[in-house]
Amino acid sequence: MKRSGAQIVWECLTREGVDLVFGYPGGANLPIYDALRDYPVHHVLCRHEQGGAHMADGYARVTGKVGVSMGTSGPGATNLVTGIATAQMDSVPVVFITGQVSSKLIGYDAFQETDVTGITLPITKHNYLVTRVEDIMPSLREAFYIARSGRPGPVLVDITKDAQQAFIENWSYDDAPIGLRGYRPDLRPASARIKKAVDIIHAAKRPLILLGHGALMSNAGAEVREFAEKANVPIAMTLLGIGAVPASHPLNLGMMGMHGEAWVNNAIQEADLLLAFGMRFDDRVTGNLRTYAPNAKKIHIEIDPSEINKNVKVDVGLVGDLKDILRQINPLLGPGDRAEWLEHIADMKGDSAVRDIQNLPDSGHLYAAHVLHDLWRFTGPDTIVTTDVGQHQMWAAQYYRIDKPHKWVTSGGLGTMGFGLPSAIGAKMGSPASEVWTVVGDGGFQMTMPELCTAAQEGVKVNVAIINNGYLGMVRQWQEFFYEKNYTATPMRSPDFVKIAEANGLKGIRVTERSQVEAAIREAQESEGTVVIDFRVEQEDSVYPMVPAGADLHAMIRRPKNVLVETAEDE
Amino acid sequence: MLHTLVVLVENKPGVLNRVASLFRRRAYNIESLTVGHTDMPGISRMTVTVEGDQHHIERLTAYLYKLVNVIQVEDLTEKKMVSRDLALIKVNTGSEKRAEIFQMVEVFRARVVDVTNNSLIIEITGDSDKIDGFVEVLKPLGIIEMVRTGAVAMERGSESLVNEDVLVEMVPA
């Protein structure tokens, strides 16, 4: 059959199972958009390519499928860059397809020409510049394969306009196996190494699992639980590991790292064995590497060999898929008696649960923690929560207790403000039956706020909870702690978010007291379209505990007495 | 210490850029990098000399393998190897220096490949130390211009460094 390059793009996408793309048209990708009419793919018009990229990212994180995002050449492609880097840092499979100026114009600084493959080279798993129509199919097939296999990640395919417009007379889809000689996504550890790991596990008295995003990518939640329960090993989660095992699981201690709970970080420091499952010892998780878990042996299970021994030198590195490897390890595990260790951790936890804000009497003030705790109470375990980046993100991680996998969507590695709303739209479109909330700050929300109208146009219902404290809160917190409260450039005026919602044809609700929180959440749930709730929370509230950047993991700034946050003593 | 790495890559557009960009991004200093064809269709061979301790080189190897187009990485530093660099050196030759220069060319087993009334181009092949030595000798005589290729290297003995698996096209699991 005769097919244009543009048609071949859609032929390939539909064969990859794509029925939804997020993008923005322009001069250099118009042929692709023109050809869309012949194919059963729904296109969501974002308001900025960054938004489209985050939508595809959110879609991919909740569905486990490859997301697709499109942009035109030049500014269209450069606007995608933040979204591409976000997906790269969090290992999210997204295929980005950009239009490029015609091949004969490349290199001549043509209108809307940028070297997009050059720009995105260090922030993609791989990328392609396609200048010939014959190369479109193989490039796209490889792109999807690379994006979803091994350690997933974003792949960009930049297609020149003339390649889109050219025809192939007798085109047919090639479904032969893909040959990539340098690409080994399917490595497996030798059984001797597994044996060595099991011996170390059996000898450990104070083991701890560090559970990361890889556990979700590998769908290894059940295997991790089996491991933990069989060997009596407690679990600490990274920010991106949240949801891999239920927050309510008795062995799940909670989140580790810069804003991890004190007992979790102290347990890491006191452990004699760290079992790193699909995580990468990011600096936000380890603090000072010199003093990190000084007495612990380390076993690292990770699909990306380059992560082994990168930040932390390990005793055993097992390269491969976490689920596969745990299925080999679990039958070899003997029952572990870790009662003493678990009791010790319980002691460290102490009355921390009691001093949690959630259990304090209502004093009339509205704290972010109240809002997030209430949001958790009034929503079900199938609710998807996406976040932006900052204080609200950490409070959400601490107080919204995720019990199911792929329900928690947050930008961890890159820490991309503006991620919350568009990722929620993508998540909702990927999982239409789910209730979707995005928790955002007043700062980050304004970065991608125009996507509200995307939600309105698409008739997509997401609920937006703005934790509005009138500051760039996390930066303000750093200024308070480390820059003598010199609040340079952090006080932020915002528009009337209720009116913003209304201007987009959506419902807006303002909440200033805790007594209004439940009713607002209920109203949002019962409303048909997207709802924006402007939670006016305490302005100078901080996230505790906090490990200052680069400090020892056990050197946490604890919640002080008698400041704005009315909590019991932290000790 | 200086390490000599051999990197087999797919001969695809941009692959040199990907490798060079990796060195820059991960803050490695390339001493020299050469790239050329091999006897295997579609596969190019890079020889990279790079400064670093064992840990740095292990990290670098892992990062190189992360690139989709990189097929195989071998560190020849600790192995018995032949390493060759080629230099073209243009030197000043007043009549009084000429004989001396020709003598040096003889001693170092270099070759004169271009002659004018007052200059010579000398070609020399050898390991980097030999070329460094030759350059030192010529310096006082007046070097006008010099270019070096950077090292290419190969392990001694009858074995091929190439892992035969790389010739097999990979099939998705």
In sequence order, which residues have a C-beta less than 8 Å from that of residue A44 and are 6 or more positions away?
A20, A21, A22, A23, A52, A55, A425, A429, A454, A458
Q: Could you give the dihedral angle defined by the CA atoms of residues B111, B112, B113 and B116, in that order, rounded to the nearest 10 degrees?
A: 180
Query: Using the beta-carbon criterion (under 8 Å), do A146 and B65 form an inter-chain contact?
Result: no
| pLDDT at residue A126, rounded to an integer | 98
B-chain residues within 8 Å CB-CB of A306? 59, 62-63, 65-66
Task: Quickly list DSSP for A45-63.
Answer: E-SSHHHHHHHHHHHHHHH
> Which residue among A474, A479, A507, A535 is the active-site one?
A474
Phi, psi of A85 (to 5 degrees): -65, -35
Instruction: For residues A558 and A259, give the distance between their C-alpha atoms in angstroms, rounded to a whole number.
Output: 10
Is A196 one of the catalytic residues?
no
By CA distance, what is B12's nearest residue in A? A128
Q: How far apart are CA A132 and CA A117, in angstroms?
A: 16
Q: Does the distance separating the beta carbons of B10 and A121 come in below 8 Å?
A: no
Mean per-residue pLDDT over chain A, rounded: 94
Query: What kind and span of H or E run contains A485?
Result: none
User: Catalytic site residue A407?
Assistant: no
Residue A355 tokens read as 């001093």
Predicted local distance difference test score (pLDDT) of residue A360: 54
Instruction: Count CB pairs under 8 A between chains A and B.
Output: 65
- In this prediction the pTM is 0.94
pLDDT digits (tens, 9 = 90+) for A507-533: 999 999 999 999 999 999 999 999 999
Q: At A247, which amino acid appears?
A: A
Contact by Cβ (8 Å): A208, A338: no
**Which tokens sit at A216?**
């979700």
Task: Please give the span between the terminal C-alpha atoms of chain A, in angstroms, as a whole number.
Answer: 73
- A469: nearest Cα among A540, A410, A518: A540
pLDDT at B142: 87
Given a cut of 60, is residue A485 above it in pLDDT? yes
3-state secondary structure of A156: strand
Query: Mapping DSSP to helix (H, G, I), strand (E, B) and coil, where does residue A199 land?
Result: helix
Amino acid at A530: T
Q: Is A111 a catalytic residue?
A: yes
Q: Percent of chain A scored above 70 by pLDDT?
A: 96
* Across A28-37, A123-132, A268-277, B48-57, least confident range: B48-57
The lowest-confidence range among A415-424, A559-568, B150-159 is A559-568
Out of A7, A16, A22, A49, the active site residue is: A49
Inter-chain residue contact B169 with A183, CB threshold 8 Å: no
For chain A, say whether B168 makes contact (Cβ under 8 Å): yes
What lies within 8 Å, CB to CB, of A84 at 6+ separation is A53, A94, A96, A120, A123, A124, A154, A156
B58/A125 touch (CB, cutoff 8 Å), yes or no:
no
Q: How far, in Å, are A301, A364, A408, A437 from residue A524 at the CA level?
A: 42, 22, 20, 10
Cβ contact B169–A181 (<8 Å): yes
